[in-house]
């Protein structure tokens, strides 16, 4: 019998109450501290929903990040943002980080929050359960989604972000991480092996390539998440427990949990796997909250 477990990650839709509160904050009718407390409280409620729905592993809902890069960029760059850019082939956008000097570890200051940066509230709110994962955008994607000043060395920029990540792992005592790589390089960034050796890493990487993660270190993620059945073959070879994105987080169609389980079982059996993770494409922020909540409920019924 194949063991199937579920994963939820990334930006989650905001409630109407949160949206209205953000609007008040933008009009200076609500102060930073009050909105920050509201954000953290809302995150706790969403984490409770994930847990009660039966999701095996989930990340912070990131409702105050604005996009997948904004909080990390605010933490590490002197002049964090430039223009608005389209995110992949979607109708959503992100603010492109502006890298004019080598990134370094800073602080997230609530009083410095602006609509163009991150919103008030904690970078991470953990429920201290064994199900919780810390979210980090992949280093390759941060660099590929940013504007780098021509005088900077790209490899050194990547290594600077790696140092920041290793500091964050220590600071927050991260035991489990979801590393999200929507804009990867054609080859693996070797520095990722240091992250793999520091925590249990679930690596969502678009366009998997069948090559070693490091030429000098025997390091790999705990789970490599595939986008399709062909990539699952690579994920099975390159990680301890592979995963696959079977639920579509970009449309409102409500999948059947039994069909998702059967698909995962069939794919696992073909590769003679004992266990597999099932997750979604992209993240649920593309959907209305009511639909996202229903999809979480469905995902929680897949597997265990």
Q: What is the mean pLDDT of the chain?
A: 91
Q: Give CA angle at 76 (114, 107), nearest 5°.
A: 65
What confidence category does residue 275 fall into, taking pLDDT thresholds of 50, 70 and 90? very high
What confidence category does residue 211 fall into, taking pLDDT thresholds of 50, 70 and 90? confident
The pLDDT of residue 186: 84
CB 144 within 8 A of CB 68: no
Please indicate, yes or no, if residue 70 is contained in any of the structural domains: no
Please indicate, yes or no, if residue 254 is contained in any of the structural domains: yes
Please indicate, yes or no, if residue 74 is contained in any of the structural domains: no
Mean pLDDT over residues 239-257, rounded? Answer: 96
The pLDDT of residue 77: 86
Distance of CA 20 to the CA centre of its chain: 25
pLDDT over 90 at 90, yes or no: no
Q: In terms of residues, how long is the chain?
A: 304
Overall domain count for the chain? 1
The pLDDT of residue 113: 74
Burial 244-281 (b: 16+ CB within 10 A, else e): bbbbebbeeeebebeebbebbbebbeeeebebbbbbbe
CB 247 within 8 A of CB 279: yes
The CATH number covering residue 171 comes to 3.20.20.210
Please indicate, yes or no, if residue 165 is contained in any of the structural domains: yes
pLDDT over 70 at 91, yes or no: no
pLDDT over 90 at 41, yes or no: yes
Token reading at 256 = 């059947």
- Min mean pLDDT across 38-52, 210-224, 231-245, 276-290 is at 210-224
Mean pLDDT over residues 293-298, rounded? Answer: 98
Let me know how many helices (H) and strands (E) the chain has, helices first.
9, 11
pLDDT over 80 at 31, yes or no: yes
Range of the domain at 214: 3-64+108-143+152-299
Please indicate, yes or no, if residue 97 is contained in any of the structural domains: no
Mean pLDDT over residues 110-133, rounded? Answer: 86
What confidence category does residue 278 fall into, taking pLDDT thresholds of 50, 70 and 90? very high
> Which candidate, 301, 304, 296, places its Cα nearest to that of 58?
296
Task: Identify the residue with better confidence: 158 or 88.
Answer: 158
Q: How many CB atoms lie within 10 A of CB 116?
A: 12
Q: Which single residue is written with the structure tokens 């990650």?
A: 9
Please indicate, yes or no, if residue 92 is contained in any of the structural domains: no
Q: 16-26 and 32-53 are packed helices; what angle lies between their axes, rounded to 10 degrees?
A: 160
The pLDDT of residue 298: 97
The pLDDT of residue 228: 93
Burial class (CB in 10 A: 0-12, 13-18, 19+), 29: exposed
- Min mean pLDDT across 79-83, 92-96, 129-133, 162-166 is at 79-83
* 185/60 Cα distance (integer angstroms): 26
What percent of the chain clears pLDDT 70, i.e. is strictly above it? 95
Please indicate, yes or no, if residue 93 is contained in any of the structural domains: no
Please indicate, yes or no, if residue 293 is contained in any of the structural domains: yes
């Amino acid at each position: 019998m194949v063991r199937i477990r579920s994963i939820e990650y990334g930006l989650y839709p905001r409630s109407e109450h949160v949206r209205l509160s953000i609007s008040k904050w933008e009009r200076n009718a609500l102060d930073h501290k009050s909105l920050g407390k509201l954000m953290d409280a809302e995150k706790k409620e969403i984490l409770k929903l994930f847990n009660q729905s039966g999701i095996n592993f989930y990340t912070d809902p990131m409702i105050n990040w604005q996009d997948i890069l904004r909080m990390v960029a605010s933490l590490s760059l002197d002049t964090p943002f430039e223009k608005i850019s389209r995110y992949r082939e979607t109708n959503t956008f992100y603010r492109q980080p502006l890298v004019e000097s080598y990134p370094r570890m800073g602080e997230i200051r609530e009083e410095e929050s602006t609509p163009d940066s991150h919103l008030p509230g904690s970078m991470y709110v953990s429920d201290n359960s064994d199900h919780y994962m810390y979210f980090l955008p992949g280093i390759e994607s941060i660099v590929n989604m940013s504007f780098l000043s021509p005088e900077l060395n790209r490899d050194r920029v990547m290594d600077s972000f790696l140092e920041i990540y290793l500091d964050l792992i220590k600071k927050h005592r991260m035991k489990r991480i979801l590393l999200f790589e929507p804009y990867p390089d054609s080859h693996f960034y070797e520095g990722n092996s240091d992250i793999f050796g520091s925590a249990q890493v679930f690596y969502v990487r678009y366009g998997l390539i069948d090559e070693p993660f490091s030429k000098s270190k025997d390091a790999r993620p705990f789970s490599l998440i595939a986008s399709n059945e062909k990539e699952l073959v690579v994920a099975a070879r390159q990680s301890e427990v592979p995963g696959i994105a079977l639920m579509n987080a970009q449309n409102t169609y409500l999948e059947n949990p039994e069909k998702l389980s059967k698909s995962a079982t069939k794919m696992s059996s073909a590769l003679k796997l004992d266990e597999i993770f099932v997750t979604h494409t992209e993240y649920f922020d593309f959907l209305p909250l009511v639909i996202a909540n229903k999809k979480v409920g469905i995902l929680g019924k897949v597997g265990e």
